[in-house]
Structure 1
Amino acid sequence: MRTSTSRTGGRFRSRATAGLTALLLPLAAMVGLASPAEAAPSATATYAKTSDWGSGFEGKWTVKNTGTTSLSSWTVEWDFPAGTAVTSAWDADVTSSGNHWTAKNKAWNGPLAPGASVSFGFNGTGSGSPSGCKLNGASCDGGSVPGDNPPSAPGTPSASNITNTAVTLSWSAATDDKGIKNYDVLRDGTRVATVTGLTYTNTGLTAGTDYSYAIQARDSADQTGPVSGSRAVRTTGGGTDPGPGDKVKLGYFTNWGVYQRNYHVKNLVSSGTAAKITHINYAFGNVQSGRCTIGDAFADYDKAYTADQSVDGKADTWDQPLRGNFNQLRKLKAQYPNIKVLWSFGGWTWSGGFGQAAANPAAFAESCYQLVEDPRWADVFDGIDLDWEYPNACGLTCDTSDPASLKNVMQAMRARFGSGNLVTAAISADGTNGGKLDAADYAGAAQYVDFYNVMTYDFFGTWAAQGPTAPHSPLTSYAGIPQEGFNSEAAITKLKGKGISGSKLNLGIGFYGRGWTGVTQATPGGTATGPAPGTYEPGNEDYKVLKVTCPATGTVAGTAYAKCGSNWWSYDTPATIGTKMSWVKSQGLKGAFYWEFSGDTANGELANAVHTGLR
């Protein structure tokens, strides 16, 4: 969110019956194992995850003698990423040094005749997949080829087009001194496909199910290199998606909008929007000195409303105990009792105080509770929303708390506000690897929130004054997008990959456009000389203005763009919002939210598009 400006995008058991018998070469023999110039013994070791119960899993290695002579013993080595470990094992002696694991045969299952195979198993914790496998010091695919190095690891796969039964994976190429032949696609440690390209669509999956994917390259000699990093994916559906009646339709109401914008709570009624929303986030309260504080006392609870400005047509009196927006929201809820109102704290301008607040989450939560539940307006609010931009990352200012700070704060909020109040948060939509969504424990915090509002807008804008021009709220990637991972699909996929259910995620819609001037190219990707003129801010304009002054001339990645004269704008229209709402439903998301009410037309056509799209 913003107070005046924002950058979201630049700116998610028991052991089964034990396995059987044996595998390969003796430890003593490893002293004389093949040198790099010699061929290694002909044997293979393959891994499979046989079960996963959330808090742990069972893995199995199988060693096979593919040669013509007997093997007398075997040793399998591999690496697990940090956080993944073996907790118990059977049919092998398993030891570790850091993240490096070694399994050696038992005294009774070392010999292995030609063509024979043996398995050993283990229980583990974590979600990582093994990499760097070696069998008796050589490649687990049968040994290295003299004079030919194995390939490197491919890039960690990305996931897109996630449905109930399918996912599309893409990855960056591996390198090899003699050339890459193809790639093995591993799902939960088991190979499900071998492809020659850099993408694969896995179909036939189960709805609402967690999967882990990794990629392994093969060179022209059929040697495999290390396994890539893993990508967690959860398919949609599975009976956990909210139904149409449960969809969130949330809008932000800004306290400063009552000034220059002349936008008041009554406008929600006169536009017809009040009948088409489920939630209002009132923005913003401040975060100062480790506490929640009032953002604008005059607008919040002191401004006197005349009869023509008031929701119920009754003027405020000089001596009434509560006036301002809070009293108008109270009147709105009397007419529309289904609407839930949350008080939002932070935002782009006021997020700098969260770092100090995170140092004592319980005290921070107590201050917020006392303010939100102040007897003067306790009946107005149904909970709290935190707009921290961004935990352990940089927005207007840089936070250096730590990755656990968000989880700790949300846990304290839930403990203080209890189950009877809503606790939500607006979060980054940075879908890049190592970006903002990887900087904090969003998955850990998710257990304490009712839902996240994913700020899937402001991916691109005139902070890049010379362009390239790009839609600020792309639903998907597209050819020429300035930054991969800066789109709604990438953000939602990353968050689902962290184990966060779609039923806790709302898609963000901007009721405004971002624009450049000095542009000659009509389609995205053109150069510019700076921000286009805007009513309140250069490079930013309300939808209600743009639909008249610069109508859409095209669409890209699920959003609209327009060129009028030398100005180039991108924004959402009722048609593109309809497309996005269809996507929200296909992804099993909780619903949608928008920033913010005053950018809409007098008859609320964008809010109506969200409403009708989610029915």
Structure 2
Amino acid sequence: MKQQLRWSLRLLVATASLMLANFASAAECNPWSAGTVYTQGLYSTHVGKTWRAKWYTQNEAPGSSQWGPWEERPASECSVVIPPGGDGSGIPEPTPTVGKHLGSYFAQWGIYGRNYKLRNLVDTGNDKKLTFLNYAFGNIYADGKCNIITKAENGNGDGGDGWADYQRGFAANESVDGVGDSWDAKLKGNFNQLKKLKLRNPNLKVLISLGGWTWSKNFSKFSMTDASRKALVTSCINLYVNGNLPSAEGAGGAGVAKGVFDGFDIDWEYPVAGGLPTNTYNAADKQNFTLLLAEFRAQLDALATSNKRKYYLTVAIGAGADKIRNTEPGLYSKHLDWVNVMTYDFHGGWEATGPTNFQSNLYRDPAAPVTGDLIKYNVDDAVTALIAGGIPKAKIVVGIPFYGRGWKGVAAGPKGDGLYQSASSPAAGTYEAGIEDYKVLVQKRATRYTHAVTKQLWTYDGNEFWSYDDPSVISTKSSYVKTQGLGGLFSWSLDGDDAQGNLLKAMTAVRQ
């Protein structure tokens, strides 16, 4: 009996040891998250190291204090568990969009002069209505790679603002969730606010937009060869999707931004011709644009297989006939989830003395004083050309400007409304001549007109002419998108809206 008891005790001890060993080997070791509560014995990874909690802790980063609640442990003691639909970042994968897309761009620099932060979006109640948000912009540098630096742009395409991206601390009253950034946090700035925004809205896809008007210089050069395309895409995925940020100002590090971005929006302005005169160009851009997108898709799909989740790829393209013919819509769109068509900036202050015209009209006006490609500078002609070029209707997302373009010294003309008339110069704007945010324009005292054919709004006060979209124009465009079976609406950019977010609220009609 005693011998049987001894064997039973030995078996019990062995079983318990095996259970403990199995428990230890199964310990989860996912990236540290500030909002998560960790009790004694729980593991986490942070800045490339493995950590175990010595006691209850929340919001204190591992390694931030020598005598803190964390102790460094061998990586073999735990394993990263990546659930289906996740990448191990602690940020859930956004749910696929059902129905029309509704998106916008958030401009990195908007937090300065315009004093627009993502908290403003939350305050309007519009943050949970978006299905995607593009962060503008990421730069591609002279070495052909994505990177983040802090350097004032000198006009040569070599600038950056890592301070705004992930180093600037936001106070509680500026923050999406009302919690300020701790001084020693590795992820702060706009990136952390984007992360918090995603936690509020499970439908929100956040994409990093690469290029734009200012930073498209190097696309042509580094899309030329298979090797340069691969190196470019690899660097961008490493930086933005894997979240390996450069260490600067006490922030950054390996994996600290993982989960913030769900993919890329490529804003090459423009292949073959157009954009800034300092851009590189090549006739082969037409095919290389498609090949670059194919490389982004291939590498994102490989990562999706590894992480058991989806990553997104979109573009922002010019709406003009001259821009469309320099690309291969039917080919490049096969690699994309949707296509953001920049259906604005049709006319503006670069036509310094006029004639005045619309900047984002839905339809063409046969009476407009334009010739050549400019005849097709309107939403409907752009959409028609893209469909004819092979883009499925459901992938076409129409752009809404949250700003207007205008002239001053405008003649009244025979109808007294200033339309299609000469001007002395672009009108004064807060940041640039000839352009102004909607929130400013809507306050101006001027007679308002809506064109019966183009469906565009304009105002004229006897001197200044301004063309822009308001909620009624957006309503008409929403109906157009639904009638045509298009993919949805997006806007440039959030900081141009009024304090109540009325333009974005009007855009939500496209999903109703």
TM-score of the pair, normalised by structure 2: 0.70
Aligned partner letter, 1:423: L
2:171 paired with 1:302: no
2:387 paired with 1:505: no
Aligned partner letter, 1:457: Y
2:269 paired with 1:389: yes
2:397 paired with 1:485: no
Residue 281 to residue 244, structure 1, CA distance change in 2 (3 Å): closer
- Looking at CA atoms only, which structure, 1 or 2, has the larger radius of gyration? 1
Following superposition of structure 1 onto structure 2, how do residues 410-489 of structure 1 map, counting pairs within 5 Å?
Answer: 410-418=293-301, 420-431=310-321, 435-481=322-368, 482=370, 483-489=374-380
2:408 paired with 1:408: no
Gaps of 5+ in 2: 1-95, 149-159, 244-254, 305-309
Match of 2:468 in 1: 571
Q: 291, 305, 315: which one pairs with 2:180?
A: 315
Following superposition of structure 1 onto structure 2, how do residues 156-171 of structure 1 map, counting pairs within 5 Å?
Answer: none
Task: Tell me, in whole angstroms, the C-alpha distance in 2 between the residues paired with 1:413 and 1:534.
Answer: 38
TM-score of the pair, normalised by structure 1: 0.59
Aligned partner letter, 1:405: N
Shift in Å, 1:246 = 1.8
Shift in Å, 1:614 = 3.2
Deviations 1:237-273 (CA, angstroms, capped at 9, x unpaired):
xxxxxx9942111100001001111110101100122
Task: Tell me, in whole angstroms, the C-alpha distance in 1 between the residues paired with 2:258 and 2:320.
Answer: 35
Aligned partner letter, 1:417: L
The alignment partner of 1:379 has SS state of coil
Aligned partner letter, 1:280: L
Match of 2:232 in 1: 364
Task: Tell me, in whole angstroms, the C-alpha distance in 2 between the residues paired with 1:302 and 1:244.
Answer: 31
Q: Conserved in 1, the CA contact under 8 Å of 2:99 and 2:511?
A: no
CA RMSD of aligned residues (A): 1.5
The alignment partner of 1:468 has SS state of coil
Match of 1:586 in 2: 483
Aligned partner letter, 2:282: T
Match of 2:119 in 1: 266
Match of 1:252 in 2: 105
Task: Tell me, in whole angstroms, the C-alpha distance in 1 between the residues paired with 2:313 and 2:447.
Answer: 37
Shift in Å, 1:443 = 1.9
Higher strand fraction (1 or 2): 1
Aligned partner letter, 2:209: S
Shift in Å, 1:555 = 1.3
Q: Conserved in 1, the CA contact under 8 Å of 2:169 and 2:182?
A: yes
Q: Conserved in 2, the CA contact under 8 Å of 1:358 and 1:401?
A: no
Match of 1:324 in 2: 189
Query: % of aligned pairs identical?
Result: 42
The alignment partner of 1:329 has SS state of helix
Aligned partner letter, 2:120: N
Shift in Å, 1:551 = 5.1
2:438 paired with 1:543: yes
Task: Tell me, in whole angstroms, the C-alpha distance in 1 between the residues paired with 2:438 and 2:174.
Answer: 23
Residue 552 to residue 599, structure 1, CA distance change in 2 (3 Å): farther
Higher helix fraction (1 or 2): 2
Task: Tell me, in whole angstroms, the C-alpha distance in 1 between the residues paired with 2:429 and 2:188.
Answer: 32
Deviations 1:26-84 (CA, angstroms, capped at 9, x unpaired):
xxxxxxxxxxxxxxxxxxxxxxxxxxxxxxxxxxxxxxxxxxxxxxxxxxxxxxxxxxx
2:456 paired with 1:603: no
The alignment partner of 1:275 has SS state of coil
Task: Tell me, in whole angstroms, the C-alpha distance in 2 between the residues paired with 1:405 and 1:391.
Answer: 9
Deviations 1:510-554 (CA, angstroms, capped at 9, x unpaired):
000000000122142011000111111111111111111145611
Aligned partner letter, 1:353: N
Residue 551 to residue 601, structure 1, CA distance change in 2 (3 Å): farther
Shift in Å, 1:401 = 4.9
Residue 386 to residue 314, structure 1, CA distance change in 2 (3 Å): same
Q: 262, 271, 293: which one pairs with 2:147?
A: 293
Gaps of 5+ in 1: 1-242
Match of 1:166 in 2: none
Task: Tell me, in whole angstroms, the C-alpha distance in 2 between the residues paired with 1:279 and 1:357.
Answer: 28
Shift in Å, 1:458 = 0.0
Shift in Å, 1:436 = 1.6
Shift in Å, 1:577 = 0.3
Following superposition of structure 1 onto structure 2, how do residues 128-167 of structure 1 map, counting pairs within 5 Å?
Answer: none
Task: Tell me, in whole angstroms, the C-alpha distance in 1 between the residues paired with 2:330 and 2:229.
Answer: 18
Aligned partner letter, 1:254: A
Moved over 2 A (4+): 479-483
